[in-house]
Structure formats: structure tokens, C-alpha cells
Amino acid sequence: MTKKKMVFLVFAIFICGLALLLGPLFPLFPWRLVDVETLRLNSPDGRVDVVQIERDAGAMTVAEFLVYIVPSNAQPSKDDQEVFAARRVSDLSSTWESNGRLLIKYKRADIYHFRNYLHPLSNDTNYEIRIQEMQN
């Protein structure tokens, strides 16, 4: 091994070790999820909201579009499961057709999760929302 290669190898090992030691304090790759609420609609009975979120993780990623149903005026939490999740979405909209019926429309979407019903209120297990998705 030449002297140049040996110096480069030692330097690379030093940088990797430094990154491992200081990484938790100063992330080398500060990927942060940015959630932007793009729509919030109260249900006709006023008990729950549908919330659409656009999640961006930076320039090298594709934005995710998430739809949650949460108690009225609440924010989606890590414990809430989205009812719709997709990437490469265009013209996403959500509308309440009636009490307990939500319609999610889009022109184009790469859907990776869809749930057609939800019991969003932990204190009322009889309260159910039916969800339909439709490409228009």
C-alpha cells in the first residue's frame, strides 16, 4: 500500500469515527420531516375533522400526502393512523358526503396505504367513519 493510500485510509477512518461520536449531537445529515396541514374539514356532526397533510423530507425525496381523521380541533399524533397515504399526488381533495362518510379524490396518486373505515373516537366505539377513494 502506498503512503498516499495509507494517509487517505487513516483520514477516512478518523472522519467516520468522528461522525459516530458526534453524530447524535450534530447530525451530518439533518433530514427533518416538515408537515404542512393543507386542509382541515369539520364533519357535518362536528365530532371529527379530516386533516390532509403534505410531508416533505427534503430536496432529494418525494412528498407524501397523508389524510387523517381526528377528534374535532385535534392535531394528528404519532398514535393516529392515516386513512390514506400516497406519493406523487395531484389534485388531492377530501369532502364529507354525509355524517360518517368521507370521499377522498385525486387526479393521480401512488397510493401505498388506504383504509376504508375508522373508529376515530376512543370513547365511542360505535362511531364509525366509512372512507371511499376515487380517481377523477
3-class DSSP state for residue 81?
A: coil
Pairing of strands 48-56, 64-71: antiparallel
For residue 49, the cross-strand partners are 42, 70
DSSP codes joined into one string, 94-129: EEEEETTEEEEEESEEEEEEE-SEE---TT-TT--E
pLDDT of residue 66: 95
pLDDT of residue 25: 53
pLDDT of residue 121: 85
3-class DSSP state for residue 74?
A: coil
pLDDT of residue 75: 92
Instruction: Read off the pLDDT of residues 3-24 as tens digits, 9 standing for 90 and up.
Output: 877 878 888 788 777 666 665 5
pLDDT of residue 5: 79
Residue ranges of the domains in the chain?
A: 1-30, 34-135
For residue 1, what is its C-alpha cell?
A: 500500500
Regions of the chain where pLDDT drops below 50 = 27-28
